[in-house]
């Protein structure tokens, strides 16, 4: 035995360092691979043609929906349709989203400058997002007879939801998704029964089936008009960890004649919108003018409304109820000199 092997430190230290490096690299690679799969899914959802029927399961109820997504000559057309429930449909034609609401005898139209596909997309995961979510590859399995990777996006606290995604091994299209709370309990599932990715999709498959005769057309959206200075003085004063202001502007809502201020807070994955309205600006006895207080549920998301210094404040987001309530309750009016900008 030579002298250089007599001291354990001579070989233990390099081995330990090598082990740590290999372990670290492997760990980073696993996390990166999971994130890579999310990027692939992003790309597939945005660039592929697809026509699928899926089940939307929430609290033991099921609705069947059809999604058609076409990319042709750089133009995106998309249709999301309830097949057995409300009869509602969404159709997006490039920069305009039309929401057909036969149960409300209303068609809502809103311009869309920035958008992702109806089935959603995930942003690039930076360090800030990783601070509040763990992204891991869970397992390999089969869905719809296709090999699938299961990726979990787990929230680290109770202020945001997580996701489990079953991604097609070949195309990275999501075949099944689950929305989960911070304890891993499944809140909502989207489960494809059929998913085709044809070369071309005919116009007829993107035409709404709703008869719009006699329906009221309402155009709402972001407006160049500024909200009143009184409305612009409001901001959330306290935010859950990781959330920050990403967008602020004026927005017309439904039939309202005066724009509301619209703030968007995001943690990089989940978003919460805050609307501040002046109920006195609307005609008396208008339903839009009635003050509201309390919580409402929309799918897996929540809306919480309250009145702050005579103004209607409503927080809406695909987050747990306590998050919208927390943010709405923290909104207050600031003086021009101490208005927070984040």
Partner 1 sequence: MSEQIREQVSAFLDGELPNSETELLLKRLTRDAELRESFGRYALIGESLRGGGSARLSQNFHTRVNRAIDGEPVSAVNSRSPGTELRRWWRPAAGAAVAAGVMAVAVLSFQQRADVPAVVASLPPATVGAITDASLTEVKPHEALSYTVPAAVGDAPAAMPAARLTSYVFAHSKYSSVLGQSNVLSGLLTDADDQETATADKVSLPKGVHDGSP
Is 299 a residue that touches partner 1 (CB under 8 A)? Answer: yes
The residue within the footprint of partner 1, chosen from 71, 76, 136, 144 (CB under 8 A), is 144
Report in angstroms how near the CB of residue 203 gets to partner 1 at its nearest. Answer: 22
Is 141 an interacting residue with respect to partner 1 (CB under 8 A)? yes
Site for partner 1 in 42-71 (CB under 8 A): 53, 55-65
Restricting to residues 95-124, name those near partner 1 by CB under 8 A. 97, 99, 101, 103-104, 106, 108, 110, 112, 114-116, 118-123
Q: Measured from the CB of residue 12, what is the shortest distance to partner 1 in angstroms?
A: 36
Question: What part of residues 169-198 is at the interface with partner 1 (CB under 8 A)?
Answer: 177-181, 183-191, 193-194
Q: How far apart are CA 66 and CA 51, in angstroms?
A: 7
CA angle 48, 50, 52 (to 5 degrees): 155
Is there binding between residue 91 and partner 1 (CB under 8 A)?
A: no
Q: Shortest gap between Cβ of 24 and partner 1 (angstroms)?
A: 23
What residues between 238 and 257 interact with partner 1 by CB under 8 A?
Answer: 238-244, 246-247, 251, 253-254
d(Cα 188, Cα 325) in Å, to the nearest integer?
A: 21
Among positions 220-239, residues that touch partner 1 (CB under 8 A) are 220-221, 235-239
Nearest to 51 by CA among 195, 200, 209, 193: 195
CB of 165 or CB of 227, closer to partner 1:
165
130 binds partner 1 (CB under 8 A): no
CA distance 224 to 235: 20
Q: Is the dihedral of CA 99, 122, 146, 138 positive or negative?
A: negative
By CB under 8 A, which span of 10-18, 24-32, 205-213, 285-293 interacts with partner 1?
285-293
Residue with the two structure tokens 């699938």? 148
Q: What is the 3-state secondary structure (H, E, C) of 174-232?
A: EEEEEEECCCCCEEEEEEEEEEECCCCCCHHHHCCCCCCCCCEEEECEEECCCCCHHHH
* Contact by Cβ (8 Å): 14, 20: no
- Rounded CA-CA distance 254/258 in Å is 10
Residue 202 found at the interface with partner 1 (CB under 8 A): no
Q: How many residues bind partner 1 (CB under 8 A)?
A: 139
Residue 342 makes contact with partner 1 by CB under 8 A: yes
d(CA 276, CA 65): 33
Rg (CA), the chain: 24
Binding piece for partner 1, criterion CB under 8 A, among 9-17, 26-34, 206-214, 264-272? 264-272
Report the nearest approach of partner 1 to the CB of residue 195 (Å): 10
In the complex, minimum distance from the CB of residue 198 to partner 1, in angstroms, rounded to a whole number: 15
């Amino acid at each position: 035995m030579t002298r250089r092997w007599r001291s354990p430190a001579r070989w233990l230290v390099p081995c330990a360092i090598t082990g740590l490096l290999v372990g670290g690299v492997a760990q980073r690679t696993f996390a990166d691979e999971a994130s890579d799969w999310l990027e692939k899914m992003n790309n597939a959802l945005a660039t592929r043609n697809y026509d699928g029927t899926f089940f939307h399961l929430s609290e033991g109820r099921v609705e069947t929906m059809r999604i058609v997504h076409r990319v042709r000559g750089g133009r995106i057309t998309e249709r999301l349709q309830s097949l057995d429930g409300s009869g509602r449909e969404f159709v997006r034609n490039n920069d305009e989203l039309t929401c057909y609401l036969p149960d409300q005898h209303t068609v809502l139209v809103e311009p869309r400058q920035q958008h992702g596909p109806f089935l959603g997309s995930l942003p690039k995961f930076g360090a800030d997002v990783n601070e509040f979510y763990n992204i891991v590859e869970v397992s390999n399995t089969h869905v719809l007879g296709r090999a699938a990777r299961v990726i979990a996006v787990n929230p680290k606290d109770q202020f945001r939801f997580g996701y489990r995604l079953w991604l097609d091994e070949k195309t990275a299209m999501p075949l099944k998704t689950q929305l989960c709370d911070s304890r891993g309990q499944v809140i909502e599932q989207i489960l494809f029964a059929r998913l085709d990715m044809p070369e071309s999709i005919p116009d007829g498959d993107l035409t709404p089936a709703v008869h719009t005769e006699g329906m009221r057309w309402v155009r709402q959206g972001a407006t160049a008009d500024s909200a009143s200075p009184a409305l612009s003085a409001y901001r959330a004063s306290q935010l859950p960890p990781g959330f920050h202001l990403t967008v602020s502007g004026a927005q017309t809502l439904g039939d309202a004649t005066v724009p509301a201020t619209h703030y968007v807070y995001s943690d990089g994955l989940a978003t919460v919108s805050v609307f501040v309205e002046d109920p006195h600006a609307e005609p008396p006895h208008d339903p839009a003018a009635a003050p509201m207080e309390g919580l409402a549920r929309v799918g897996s998301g929540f809306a919480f409304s309250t009145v702050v210094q005579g103004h209607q404040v409503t927080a809406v987001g695909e987050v747990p109820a306590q998050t919208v309530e927390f943010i709405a309750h923290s909104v207050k009016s600031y003086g021009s000199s101490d208005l927070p900008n984040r």
